[in-house]
Amino acid sequence: MIPVRTLNSGYQIPLLGLGTYPMDGAAGAAAMARAIAAGYRLLDTAAKYGNEWAVGEAIKRSGVDRRELFVTSKLRGADHGRARTRAAVAASLDRLRLDYLDLYLIHWPLPRLGRYIESYQAMLDLAAEGLIRSVGVSNFKPAHIAALIEATGVTPAVDQIELSPALPRQATVGYLTRAGVLPQAWSPLGGQHEVTRSPVVAGIAAARRVSPAQVVLRWAVQQGMAVIPKSSDPQRQRANLDIFRFSLSDREMAALATLDLGEDAAVDSDLRVEF
């Protein structure tokens, strides 16, 4: 059973879900349907991924009641702005063949474009209309979130950011925790930094008789973060689910803290331009 966390919106979110990029087409839908059969209840997609149709197909094939599933999608940069945001949500729902989204995020803040507050307000309006249950953001820095709160008085439910033992983002996570925003990790296995190949992680995994990936995912959920590892492999999907039967010791958590590469190793969302 995957633990859940109650968001500031009042809705519950599983602490572990399935990242769906780059799964697509019939094969992607089949892989996602297998994940649902294995026990996953959160599916994370985005308009930018181009696979919302496959996610909807997986949900349809699974036979699981829609109310048991938690579906996230995201607003692409090209759709920032009030009117375009409304149209983008309608298009995502159409591709997914769903009546509502459990969570909708602004994928990147694009501060130089200067429209993320406008998009956020449109998302709040759509939440009031019942098309979105929880409104959140992705790759937002504390300053971006503070601007949203100041403009609307509404705190995002989730901030999905790059998080792993290589990028623990302590200052950002601390801010989110104090603000009541759930940190959700994308790339939680620290792929580009080869975290799972670290001797520290390998040593803990060997001692625990678990996989390096399980150690890294456990590191996150043990601190109250949510994670969305992506895998189309059935065995890895099942292994990623199996992280709630053990805990890491304080000594092991301290050892993992030595892998911190610092904030400069993270993608700078003030500079990232992605449409």
pLDDT tens digit string along 25-78? 999 999 999 999 999 999 999 999 999 999 999 999 999 999 999 999 999 999
Question: Residue holding tokens 């100041």?
Answer: 150
Sequence-ordered list of residues with C-beta below 8 angstroms from that of 101, at least 6 positions apart, any chain: 71, 72, 73, 89, 92, 93, 131, 132, 133
C-alpha span between 200 and 198 (Å, rounded): 5
Q: Can you identify the CATH homologous superfamily of domain 4-264?
A: NADP-dependent oxidoreductase domain (3.20.20.100)
pLDDT of residue 84: 98
DSSP H or E stretch at residue 116: helix 116-128
* pLDDT(191) > 90: no
**For residue 172, what are its two tokens?**
């950002």
User: What residues act catalytically?
Assistant: 49
pLDDT of residue 234: 97
pLDDT tens track for 113-154 = 999 999 999 999 999 999 999 999 999 999 999 999 999 999
DSSP 156: -
- Angle among Cα 73, 189, 101 to the nearest 5 degrees reads 15
pLDDT, mean of residues 219-231: 97
Instruction: Name the pLDDT band for 237 (thresholds 50, 70, 90).
Output: very high
Residue type, 181: V
pLDDT, mean of residues 183-194: 93
DSSP H or E stretch at residue 87: helix 82-96
Domain ranges of the chain: 4-264
pLDDT, mean of residues 171-181: 98
* pLDDT(15) > 90: yes
pLDDT, mean of residues 71-98: 98
DSSP 227-244: E------HHHHHHHH--S
pLDDT of residue 208: 96
Residue type, 116: Y
Determine phi and psi for 141, rounding to 5 degrees: -85, 165
* pLDDT(192) > 90: no
C-alpha span between 249 and 271 (Å, rounded): 37
Q: Which residues on adjacent β-strands are paired with residue 105?
A: 74, 136
Determine how β-strand 4-6 pairs with β-strand 12-14. antiparallel
81: left (phi over 0), alpha (psi -120 to 50) or beta: left
pLDDT of residue 239: 97
Give the HSE-up count for residue 28: Cα atoms under 13 Å, Cβ half-sphere: 20
pLDDT, mean of residues 260-265: 96
Q: Where are the beta strands (DSSP E) in the chain?
A: 4-6, 12-14, 18-19, 42-44, 70-75, 101-106, 132-138, 158-162, 182-186, 226-227
Mean pLDDT of the chain: 97
Q: Which residues on adjacent β-strands are paired with residue 132?
A: 101
Q: Quote the percentage of the chain above a pLDDT of 90.
A: 97
Closest CA to 181 of 100, 105, 117, 80: 105
